[in-house]
Amino acid sequence: MALNIVLNELSVETPAPNISIARQWMSNLMQTVRSINAETKSRAILITQYDFHLTLLASDYTLRRWLNDIEVDKEERRFIRSLSTKTPFSEDVPDSDEVQLLESNRGSCEFRYQDKPAIGLGVAYLLDIISVSLLLEICWDCSYLDLDVISIDEDDKKIKIVHASRKEHLQDHIDWIKNRTLSNIDGRVLWDQKDDLFPNLHFCSSIETQLQSLSTGNFMLEHVKDRLRKLQQYAESWAEGSFNSNKLHCSASPESEATLKQYSKERTFLCPDEKKRMFSWHVRLPSGWRIHFYPEQPRKILIGYIGEHLPTAKFN
């Protein structure tokens, strides 16, 4: 899966004082992009204002020269050669019209960083993607950047955008990355990546077909993702004691005794440990859908069923 990231053009305005420092900048960038790939299970595409390979890293030392520099680690050069790039920012991206207006200074707002026009950082905000920088100044050594938004028809405001100039910055973006990754996948990929996306949720085998039926555009897909994300957040923070539904950020309840007496079989599922359990707890979704779960122990919740409302004593 491809994932757009944007190069902050302000971070390449000033060449390095020497080639040695330029090499270190590129090493940091390579490690950052590689870490983004690893965290998102994606393949990053770097979108830039100008041709990335013409970037001047130091006096008489362009990126093209860096790619042929035998003193640079061969694997680093190979990785950057294989890195897909797109120029300009608006090339083949969602909402490209708005990005094009920003590029041509005809948009309804302007983005500035420390009083400098910051088109790339503005693009990162508009597309809700991560921005990356070469670490040439201390101001880029951070995981978030503050931007001023100067608007024609609205009040000016300050915003924060997700940013990285070294791999360590990505640790501050784990939740953002998970949410961003979730927004781009369908039920089939959701099942394939469930262990990475929801490490504290354990899925019964019957869930595979239920998830894989949720294709892109399915009304229920985003609701299922949202509830699974909230169950994961609770399970991750559940350190001790009994399950507490009041701390779950969505409506959850057990079935009534009357329903369990009459329809417990319909709520009994084979779990990953080959044991059968009855799943009384469930969260509600629109259109009468339910996710049945079993809070087994701290930091572990079993998922037994995702689908339409199962029969109850009141409705069957």
Mapping DSSP to helix (H, G, I), strand (E, B) and coil, where does residue 23 land?
A: helix
Taking only the tens place, the pLDDT of each residue in 36-45 is 998 887 889 9
Give the DSSP letter string of 66-127.
HHT-TTS-HHHHHHHHH-EEESSTTTT-TTHHHHHHHHTT-SSEEEEETTEE-HHHHHHHHH
Residue 42 is predicted with a pLDDT of: 82
Which helix (H) or strand (E) covers residue 304, if one does? strand 300-308
Taking only the tens place, the pLDDT of each residue in 121-173 is 999 998 889 999 999 899 999 999 999 998 777 778 899 999 999 999 999 99
Q: Whose structure tokens read 């094009």?
A: 100
Mapping DSSP to helix (H, G, I), strand (E, B) and coil, where does residue 291 land?
A: strand
CB 127 within 8 A of CB 159: no
Closest CA to 302 of 165, 184, 198, 223: 198
Is pTM beyond 0.85? Reply is no
Q: Whose structure tokens read 């190979």?
A: 78
Q: Where are the domains of the chain?
A: 2-177, 187-308
> Is the predicted pLDDT of residue 95 greater than 60, yes or no?
no
CB 250 within 8 A of CB 281: no
CB 230 within 8 A of CB 198: no
Query: Average pLDDT over the chain, rounded to whole?
Result: 91
Taking only the tens place, the pLDDT of each residue in 198-244 is 999 999 999 999 999 999 889 899 899 999 999 999 999 999 999 99
Taking only the tens place, the pLDDT of each residue in 240-276 is 999 999 999 998 999 999 999 999 999 999 999 999 9
Tell me the β-bridge partners of 63.
none
CB 116 within 8 A of CB 123: no
The torsion angle over the Cα atoms of residues 275, 279, 283 and 284, rounded to 10 degrees, is 120
Closest CA to 232 of 181, 300, 164: 300
